């Protein structure tokens, strides 16, 4: 029997806030989770790439999930889904992270392909790895394709469709941004059977028009309401209006990368929403000076967000 598929919509890999000693800034984390939920997002990805998962201990990963679930539940957002990033460099550790995610309150897990030895990751070994971990995961399992952080390993549509037949593998996040790949998958497996999510805001609408279930994207950390407005326009069939807003989101996605990524997002959140600071865990770099055309573009989006 096939495991439950995540609901369609917009998910955000939440940034994680730290104090200047790199301990969790619990108050800021809770404020951020609450603002995202109030912005209408379908779900929150905890310990994704934007949540600096690779910089966290196992206990910290569990704490981040538990804190997110508790914050949502205490504020009436029990319906907001938590997906936990559980990728590690061995099947053994990944299985442990999946078990920890269930204990901490996640509903789904999202798993990267190991990449320390990319030459060993043949098609057969990639399929074997994900099937093995999915066999042992107590939560429904999503395959995370993000070549930038996996030494260039880029899962093709044939691999993902093969994995989609596993009873516990229920979706994928495509941070490769490849709409052709996305469309090949959705043309065989619709969202009711397999949750195919774009991995960047710049192709959110293009993915939806190609049959995706939505997206997991970083930009909603700054402007969740704008994303949900665009999603609502798409659902209402107002494609021309949705495309105009999609153009702004595409510009914002690019601006986030050019302005300084995670550090810039934290700085902008602190400046405009009144919580958290720009601290990141090394080797990432904090961004304390916000200036330039890319920052201007992001501040224009935030200004639009505040009108909604």
* 216 labeled part of a ligand binding site: yes
Neighbouring C-beta atoms of residue 5, cutoff 10 Å = 19
Tokens of 173: 């996040």
Chain centre to alpha carbon of residue 88:
16
Give the active site residue among 11, 129, 141, 144. Answer: 144
234 is catalytic: no
Q: Which of 30, 173, 181, 297 is catalytic?
A: 173
Of 69, 19, 21, 78, nearest to 47 by C-alpha is 69
Q: Are 177 and 198 in contact (CB under 8 A)?
A: yes
Tracing tokens 């990751």 back to the chain, one arrives at 121
d(CA 84, CA 65): 7
**How far is it, in rounded angstroms, from Cα 109 to Cα 144?**
10
Query: What's the CA gap between 230 and 225, in Å, rounded?
Result: 9
H/E stretch holding 169: strand 169-174
Q: Is 144 considered catalytic here?
A: yes
| Tokens 């009436």 belong to residue | 76
State how far the Cα of 98 lies from the Cα of 5, in Å rounded to an integer: 17
- How would you classify the pairing of strands 195-198 and 108-112? unpaired
- Binding residues, by number, are 216
- Binding residues for pyruvate, by number, are 216
For the annotated catalytic residues, the residue numbers are 144, 173
């Amino acid at each position: 029997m096939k495991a439950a598929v995540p609901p369609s919509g917009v998910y955000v890999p939440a940034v994680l806030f730290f104090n200047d000693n790199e301990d969790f800034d619990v108050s800021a984390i809770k404020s951020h989770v609450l603002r995202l939920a109030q912005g209408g997002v379908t779900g929150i990805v905890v310990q994704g790439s934007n949540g600096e998962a690779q910089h966290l201990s196992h206990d910290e990963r569990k704490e981040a999930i538990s804190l997110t679930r508790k914050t949502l539940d205490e504020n009436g957002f029990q319906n907001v889904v938590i997906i936990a990033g559980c990728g590690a460099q061995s099947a053994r550790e990944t299985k442990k992270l999946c078990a920890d995610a269930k204990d901490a309150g996640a509903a789904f897990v999202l798993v990267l392909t190991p990449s320390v030895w990319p030459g060993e990751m043949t098609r057969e070994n990639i399929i074997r790895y994900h099937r093995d971990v999915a066999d042992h995961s107590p939560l429904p399992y999503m395959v995370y394709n993000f070549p930038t952080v996996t030494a260039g390993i880029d899962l093709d549509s044939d691999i993902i469709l093969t994995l989609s037949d596993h009873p516990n593998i229920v979706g994928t996040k495509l941070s490769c941004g490849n709409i052709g790949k996305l469309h090949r998958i959705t043309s065989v497996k619709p969202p009711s059977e397999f949750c195919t999510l774009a991995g960047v805001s710049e192709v959110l609408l293009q993915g939806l028009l190609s049959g995706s279930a939505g997206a997991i994207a970083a930009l909603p950390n700054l402007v969740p309401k704008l994303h949900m407005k665009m999603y609502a326009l798409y659902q209402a069939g107002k494609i021309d209006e949705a495309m105009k807003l999609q153009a702004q989101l595409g510009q914002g996605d690019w601006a986030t990368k050019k302005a300084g990524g995670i550090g810039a997002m934290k700085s902008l959140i602190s400046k405009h929403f009144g919580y958290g600071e720009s601290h990141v865990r090394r080797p990432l770099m904090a961004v304390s000076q916000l200036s330039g055309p890319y920052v201007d573009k992001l501040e224009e989006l935030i200004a639009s967000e505040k009108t909604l």
